[in-house]
Structure 1
Amino acid sequence: MSGKQNGLETVVHSRTPLMESDNPRNSDRDLIMTTGADKSGRTGDKIVKVLKSNLLIILMIIAVILGLGLGIGLRDIWSPYETRKIFYLRFPGDLLMNMLKMLILPLIVSSLITAMGSLDTNASGRMGLRTVVYYMTTTFAAVILGIILVVTIQPGNKGEKNITKAGAPKEAEPLDALFDLIRNCFPDNLIESTFQKQETTVGKRTVIIKGSSTSNVNQTLATLASNITSNLTAPNATDDGTSIVVETMKVTKASGMNILGIVVFSLFLGGVLSKMGADGAPLVKFFECLHVATMKLVTLVIWYSPVGIVFLIASKLVEMEDLGTMFEQLAYYMVTVLSGLFIHALIVLPVIYAIFTRKNPFTFMAGMIKAILTAWGTASSSATLPLTMRCLEENNGVDPRVTMFVTPIGATINMDGTALYEAVASIFIAQYIGRDLGVGEVIVVSLTATAAAIGAAGVPQAGLVTMTIVLTAVGLPIDEITLILSVDWFLDRFRTAVNVLGDAFGAGIVEHLSRNDISKPLEFDPEVPKEQRNGFHPPETDRQDKLDTRM
């Protein structure tokens, strides 16, 4: 019995290998099943990895679609005049705008001071020159593109001639606006500039000239008019003398952050710290730490942005009175502006980037999708600044010192989309009212649109304020701005996205051109902290100076 059992065991064990491995069919089948399982597993892992890495982009795209759907759906239920409901609907979006704006001040100050303090004076000077030249060139190119399109398409001579006007314009003198721009570069109170900016206001007052005849008063008026630009009324003779109304001009404080003044101060402070070397290193280190901490706060805010974008878009759609009529009346104008923006964003800027860097511009653009969607949803390039910097550093690998230097300046002065929009809008208004602009006036439009765009703050619909400068420069009535106010909120989102994209391409180009001016620590040096390996480090001094500074 035992022998049989042993024999049976021998047979069984001798057949087992044959059944599992020596049979060609079973072997092939097992191989196919294993290979298929491995492939499906790897495919599943890849899909999960792609979804995780692009989750925020997917959420933002869904947020834009939901916002459009929610806004259009609520228009059938709510009236545009139910302001309380719209106010409550916008509340989550207001929270997003507040959080983003809250981070603007610490981000601009810390990034500019750290960038200037970590570069030597010559390197920062060359980088600054490249930055300004790039921004001025692309802004002027956008203006020229807009002028070519509006002159070719002639939107003011097509479509509806009875456009419904909306809103009211704000008067602005070109020379006053220029002086305000320069004045705000040097604020009289740095703390006050965080919430107020300087602005020229014009008033009127009555002056009584006693003991003068009408002829003498007229001579006085002529003398005044030859020396200053004033809107003086005709003299009115009274028993006490002759009364005239003259303008009064004074500088007042207007609400809103003076970003330009803060940028100028931060640049100069960072440059001085760089010159101080080891003595300025502790303060540079402080602002470097502040920048890293602010960027971590940005990460938290970014994950809330899809929620805020939904309600920002929805509330804006609900409060519009007649979407159909608005788009129908200004269809040609909108097509002209959008065509220019898309050509500038998808052709002009990528070609410039490719020429200078010899890299794929569309791969670079793909890394900026989060910032572009946020810019479209918030319509504010300043509010999008934190996300712009994060996308440049993490997705496109731009050196943080370049990002910290270029993007705050870009968010302040680089307004490609706004410049194109102002050029198209001013010539559209001239065409609509039947005014033919000569070559000289078109040149004036191009120059003033470029200058006005630089002075436009990075907040929603700031271009409307600066556009009065362009209209005044060529003698067009500023009241006609109301022709395009009804669609400005819609076009503002697209031009803001173009502004942010222009800032991003500028950072990439400046980094490539400044690669020889930027010295990075060795990645494998164990003594170099992780954040310094990403480009953060104070000006180089000898080892003994560094040790003495830390003590």
Structure 2
Amino acid sequence: MNLSVKILIFMVLGAIVGVLFLQFGDYQCAKSLAEGECQALQENSWAYTYFVEGLFNIGGSLFINALKMLMVPLVLVSLVCGVYSLADPSKLGRLSLKSIGLYLLTTAIALTLALTLASIFQPGVGMPVGEANFDASDKPPLSDVIINIVPTNPFEAMVSANMLQIIVFAILVGLAITLSGEQGKRIGNWFEDANKVVMELVNIIMRFAPYGVFFLIAKTFSTFPFSDLVGSLGSYFILVIVGLLLHALLTYSVLITLFTRLNPIKFFKAMWPAMLTAFGTSSSNATLPVTMRCAEANLGVHKNTFSFTLPLGATINMDGTAIMQGIATLFIAQAYSVDLSMAQLLTVVLTATLASIGTAGVPSVGLILLAGVLTQVNLPVEAIGMILGIDRLLDMTRTAVNITGDAAVTTIVAKSEDEIDIETFNDTNNRSNFDD
């Protein structure tokens, strides 16, 4: 059975099992005499203890850890090989300019789409504000972001998984190997062999992907009651989902058709395993091994292109997050009856687009970035507390959009550099099942 089908089946099964476990907890709550005992009864039940916090939590965490285990060696080795394989070092400069330019463009389009939707449908009008608290971490200043791009200790960067620093270090090592003559060729061959071993490790881990996704989805749906969480936030929730789907299906399709003349439907079929994995893991970095495998085996993109553009995109490209930020900003403004001027709306676009690079490596990046945007337009940061409850559910979808954007930009850049196998891209009957 195709890997995508397996993941989809186990994802649906996980959702069903999670809902059943949640209903089991709700049944106990309904039987309790005091409403305050509901949470205690659910958390102390044998089902919650042994399955939700036991089996589901352990199984999902093991899969996430396995993917994260691959992240640093995969990015380092593949990027060194990619730079080393470039016959012309000036080509690296072209790849950088094209990739960063397209990533910033798609993020700006995502924010503009989000603000347009929120302005038309006004999901925050009439929303009761109530008490909402949120403790936002500080966003690093731009000067620190620029300084910290170059690692003082590359091994520390690998230990802390600082992807921007790892990318810079790998590019420099690849250039050094290229310029080192015969000695460089020997080291380059070692990295080529290491890359093959790492990719085989990806194949091994991906055979467990359906089960890992099952555990992750089951835990999510057994912990978050969908109907209760959405409630009065239903209009915001639905609008964010609509914005994400429009951006993924419309924006990326137009860009791929316009710049490459390739069939966008075949693109989405090629990236389907990565999109499903991203939905289950809610992490662009954790999904990176799958994204790279799909780019090579299904899209036909050459290694010296995707080994640079995909790690960079997983680090700085956040189209799905940008859509959430745009809609959330206007949602909060409407809830507080604040009219934002055109200048403030432009500030939202510029702040969120440019700051995405600086906050990419910070946990809960979307909420931290949103806090910075709200501050720029004088809206209360604590209002983020209103949307925290359903953010976990939205995070799954926007992560899938994020990695799809990474792959779309990679496809466009590869086509412009003549670094894509068109036959592989068009061959929808020969998609990688991670078994070869």
Range class of TM-score, shorter chain: 0.7 to 0.9
1:423 maps to 2:391: no
Per mean C-alpha deviation after superposition, the further-off stretch among 396-405 and 437-446 is 396-405
Q: 1:485 aligns with which of 370, 384, 388?
A: 388
**For residues 62-101 of structure 1, what are the structure 2 equivalents within 5 Å?**
62-78=9-25, 81-82=43-44, 84-85=49-50, 86-88=52-54, 89-101=56-68
What's the CA shift for 1:291?
1.5
Instruction: Look up the match of 1:276.
Output: 180
Matches of 2:17 and 2:296 in 1, distance apart? Answer: 34
Q: 2:71 aligns with which of 82, 104, 124?
A: 104
Instruction: Look up the match of 1:142.
Output: 110
Identity value in percent: 37
TM-score (norm 1): 0.69
1:369 maps to 2:272: yes
Whether the 8 Å contact between 2:278 and 2:403 is mirrored in structure 1 is yes
Q: 1:182 aligns with which of 131, 135, 146?
A: 146
Matches of 1:467 and 1:81 in 2, distance apart? Answer: 32
**For residues 427-466 of structure 1, what are the structure 2 equivalents within 5 Å?**
427-457=330-360, 461-466=364-369
Whether the 8 Å contact between 1:426 and 1:471 is mirrored in structure 2 is yes
Instruction: Look up the match of 2:371.
Output: 468
Whether the 8 Å contact between 1:353 and 1:361 is mirrored in structure 2 is yes
Matches of 2:181 and 2:264 in 1, distance apart? Answer: 37
What's the CA shift for 1:458?
6.5
What's the CA shift for 1:304?
0.4
1:494 maps to 2:393: no
Per mean C-alpha deviation after superposition, the further-off stretch among 397-406 and 89-98 is 397-406
Q: Deviations for 1:166-186, whole angstroms, at most 9, x for unmatched residues? A: x7332425xx44234223312
What's the CA shift for 1:471?
1.3
What's the CA shift for 1:164?
7.4
Matches of 1:459 and 1:338 in 2, distance apart? Answer: 24
Q: Deviations for 1:316-364, whole angstroms, at most 9, x for unmatched residues? A: 12222x4323212111111221111111100111110011111101111
Q: 1:384 aligns with which of 279, 287, 312?
A: 287
Q: 1:413 aligns with which of 316, 320, 323?
A: 316
Instruction: Look up the match of 2:158.
Output: 194
Whether the 8 Å contact between 1:418 and 1:453 is mirrored in structure 2 is no
Matches of 2:372 and 2:159 in 1, distance apart? Answer: 24
1:505 maps to 2:432: no
TM-score (norm 2): 0.87
Instruction: Look up the match of 2:136.
Output: 170
Whether the 8 Å contact between 2:282 and 2:395 is mirrored in structure 1 is yes
* Matched AA of 1:99: A
**For residues 187-336 of structure 1, what are the structure 2 equivalents within 5 Å?**
187-196=151-160, 257-320=161-224, 322-336=225-239
What's the CA shift for 1:370?
0.4
Q: Alignment partner of 2:154: what SS? A: coil
**For residues 5-16 of structure 1, what are the structure 2 equivalents within 5 Å?**
none
What's the CA shift for 1:188?
2.4
| Bigger Rg, which one | 1
Q: Alignment partner of 1:436: what SS? A: coil
Whether the 8 Å contact between 1:163 and 1:329 is mirrored in structure 2 is no
Instruction: Look up the match of 2:84.
Output: 117
Instruction: Look up the match of 2:124.
Output: 156
Instruction: Look up the match of 1:541.
Output: none
What's the CA shift for 1:271?
2.2
RMSD over equivalenced CA pairs, Å? 2.0
* Matched AA of 2:275: I
Q: Deviations for 1:283-339, whole angstroms, at most 9, x for unmatched residues? A: 22222222111110000111101111111111112222x432321211111122111
Instruction: Look up the match of 2:246.
Output: 343
- Structure 1 alignment gaps of length 5 or more: 1-51, 197-256, 521-551
What's the CA shift for 1:132?
1.2
Q: Alignment partner of 1:510: what SS? A: helix
Whether the 8 Å contact between 1:381 and 1:496 is mirrored in structure 2 is yes
What's the CA shift for 1:276?
2.9
Matches of 2:308 and 2:78 in 1, distance apart? Answer: 7
Matches of 2:90 and 2:334 in 1, distance apart? Answer: 49
* Matched AA of 2:188: V
What's the CA shift for 1:163?
6.4
Query: CA 1:341–1:450 in structure 2 vs 1: closer, same or farther (change >3 Å)?
Result: same
Query: CA 1:163–1:458 in structure 2 vs 1: closer, same or farther (change >3 Å)?
Result: farther
Q: Alignment partner of 2:152: what SS? A: coil
Per mean C-alpha deviation after superposition, the further-off stretch among 187-196 and 396-405 is 187-196
What's the CA shift for 1:280?
1.7
* Matched AA of 1:513: S
Instruction: Look up the match of 2:297.
Output: 394
Whether the 8 Å contact between 1:380 and 1:458 is mirrored in structure 2 is no
Whether the 8 Å contact between 1:101 and 1:382 is mirrored in structure 2 is yes
Whether the 8 Å contact between 1:461 and 1:488 is mirrored in structure 2 is no
Matches of 2:152 and 2:102 in 1, distance apart? Answer: 30
Q: Deviations for 1:192-249, whole angstroms, at most 9, x for unmatched residues? A: 22233xxxxxxxxxxxxxxxxxxxxxxxxxxxxxxxxxxxxxxxxxxxxxxxxxxxxx
What's the CA shift for 1:279?
3.4
Greater helix share, 1 or 2? 2
Instruction: Look up the match of 2:98.
Output: 130
What's the CA shift for 1:460?
7.1
* Matched AA of 1:444: T
Matches of 2:185 and 2:375 in 1, distance apart? Answer: 49
Whether the 8 Å contact between 1:131 and 1:406 is mirrored in structure 2 is yes
Q: Alignment partner of 2:414: what SS? A: helix
